[in-house]
Structure 1
Amino acid sequence: MKIKQFEDPKTFKDEVYDYLLKNEAKNNLPIGIINQMLEYDRYPDAFLAAVYEEELIGVYVMTPPHALILTCTKGREIDVHQKMIHYLLEKKISIPGVVAEKNCAIHFAGQWEQITGKPFQTKMQQRIYDLHQVTDIPLSEGEFILANRKDIDLVANWIIGFVEDTGEGEITPEDAQKRAVEMIEKEESVYLWKVGGVPVSMARRARHTEKGCSVNFVYTPDAYRKKGYGSSVVKSLSLKLLEKYDFCTLYTDLNYPTSNKIYMEIGYQPVCDSVHIEFA
């Protein structure tokens, strides 16, 4: 068993892409990040590695300060993770945690604790969904609008609200502003649901895979919740994405059953459970 670390994302993609595409919806996160690295020149300090035993059996992607993303062949989790953990320790590569399909992540965390003696805790129980056809549910009042420059301050504030609600970490107002500018001006990826010209909810076209595209940053401020605005913006964005892609994907937090129920009403179906684990 050997590990190969990559500096060039193009070479990495050539090496691992077909392996990841075997489970395209489940692997939407590492696939999407690889594509973002190449298309937007993002994550210059990313950790990219693959594990081989005659053939490819594990793929690891990390964009500091975020968690290490794991993908490995079923039944080989313990062997592959042991090899990678020893490699990370030898190279003095720090990891704050892992994100992966549930069994894969739990196997890694167990080996991490056994080898390093450091405990771990579950940060978020997640579920990956995909959608191939939107169900015929009614939209709320309002209209679906692409965000523009005038919306940058609003979207920056909503990014902060989203991060606070999801507990995904911390973001400064400056970083939120920078992210909003990038998403609106460079990517043109943020969509708003407006009622009477007033923005009430948002969703974003996120990373794409070969045949699919993800939806994220779904956020509705407290004052506008329970009115169907979030469902309307997600349904509208999903319909737009299906004009170009075969399917859409998204991650949910299983601690919020209402949002999971809403996505399933739109037509999203569970692919697998995922978990975000933090290390002490």
Structure 2
Amino acid sequence: MNINVYTDTRDFDNKVRPLLLEKEAENNLPLGLLDQINEGRYEDPFLAVMEDGGINAAVFIRTPPHHLIVTVFQEERIAEIGEVLWDYINAYNISLPGFVGNKKATVQLAEMWSKKTSRPYEVNMRQRIYRLDRLNDIEISEGKMEQADGSEVDLVTQWLMGFTEDTPGKPISIEDASKRAKEMLEEKSVFFWEVEGVPVSMARRARKTDNGITVNFVYTPNKFRRKGYGRSVVAELSSMLLETNQFCTLYTDLDNPTSNKIYMEIGYTPVCDSMMINI
């Protein structure tokens, strides 16, 4: 088994996109990143395919300084895949903060890394990927969905910081939150749920794949919670996105049973569990 590293992003795209599209909803993260990498949004991405006799075993994508996104096609060979990856990473003195991907693959890789380094690994986030093809008939709360405009930078910044505080992982700084908020508003990807003209919840249209699109950054401030606003903005945004996409995907925090319940009420169905693991 050998690992082939690509420097030409288009060649890499041509190689891996058909593989990733076989499970498009599950692979929405690497597929979405492919388009962003092709657009030049990331410097020095790590793009690799592991093969054995022409058979594809795994795909790896990393946009430094983030975790390595792992997609394994031969789950019965994860131990062997891990050994080859370990040898390559050490041969080229590459530092990895951790793995992101299907639970089975990432946990096995993290356990192997832990044995080799004599350091424990840490589960950063336990997530579930959901897919929506058709909305359920649910009750919508008072108010309506409105697209955010460029004047909402301060509010979106505050809510991004609130979102990261509620989510396992490293909190975002106000500077980074402000930068991200400006980018999102320029993309016209943020949508509010408003009651009497006051924003009470938000969601974002995010990564596009060939046939689907992702919903993320769903956030409702504490004082507006338990009124159905988050469910309403996700339902309305998803409905709008389904007009031009075959399906929607989203990630949930498995340690937040409330959000998982709400999304399933809307019509989202589980695809697989995903893990972000620090090594």
Q: What TM-score comes out, normalization by structure 1 length?
A: 0.96
How far did 1:116 drift?
Answer: 2.4
Deviation string, structure 1 residues 136-183 (Cα, Å, up to 9, x no partner): 101111110111011111101111111111023132211111111111
Map of 1:237 onto structure 2: 237
Give the aligned partner of residue 42 of structure 2. Answer: 43
Residue 55 of structure 1 and its aligned partner are, at CA, apart by 2.0
| Structure 2 SS opposite 1:226 | coil
Confirm or deny that 1:276 pairs with 2:276: yes
Matched, 1:163 2:159: no
Superposed, which structure 2 residues align to 1:69-218 within 5 Å?
69-73=69-73, 74-185=75-186, 187-218=187-218
Query: Is 1:14 equivalent to 2:2 in the alignment?
Result: no
Q: How far is 1:75 from its partner?
A: 1.4
Alignment match, 1:226: 226
Match of 2:51 in 1: 52
SS at match of 2:70: strand
After TM superposition, the structure 1 = structure 2 runs for residues 53-68 of structure 1, keeping only pairs within 5 Å, are 53=52, 54-68=54-68
Deviation at 1:64, TM superposition (A): 2.1
% of aligned pairs identical? 49
Q: SS of the residue aligned with 1:75?
A: helix
1:117 CA displacement: 2.3
Partner letter of residue 102 of structure 1? Answer: K
**How far is the alpha carbon of 1:9 from its aligned partner?**
2.1
**Correspondence for 1:254:** 254
Task: Measure how far apart 1:35 and its partner are.
Answer: 1.3
Q: Which runs of 5+ in 1 are unaligned?
A: none
Residues in 2 aligned to 1:170 and 1:254: alpha-carbon distance in whole angstroms: 18
Q: Which amino acid aligns with 1:191?
A: F
Deviation string 1:220-276 (CA, Å, 9 cap, x unpaired) is 011101100000110011001101110000111110001000000000000011111
Counterpart amino acid of 2:108? H
CA-atom RMSD, angstroms?
1.1
Deviation by residue 1:32-79 (Cα, 9 ceiling, x = unmatched): 11112224x211132111101122210011122221111012212111
Q: Hey, what's the Cα distance between the residues in 2 that align with 1:222 and 1:278?
A: 29
Give 4+ residue runs of structure 1 displaced > 3 Å after superposition. none
**Partner amino acid for 1:162?**
F
Q: Secondary structure at the match of 1:65?
A: coil
Amino acid at match of 1:55: I
| Aligned AA (1:151) | E
Distance 1:78 1:163 in 2: 33
- State the one-letter code of the partner of 1:119: P
How far, CA to CA, are the matches of 1:182 and 1:8 in structure 2? 27
One-letter code aligned to 2:82: H
**TM-score under structure 2 length normalisation:** 0.96
Moved more, 130-139 or 167-176: 167-176
In the TM superposition, what is the alpha-carbon distance from 1:203 to its structure 2 partner? Answer: 0.4
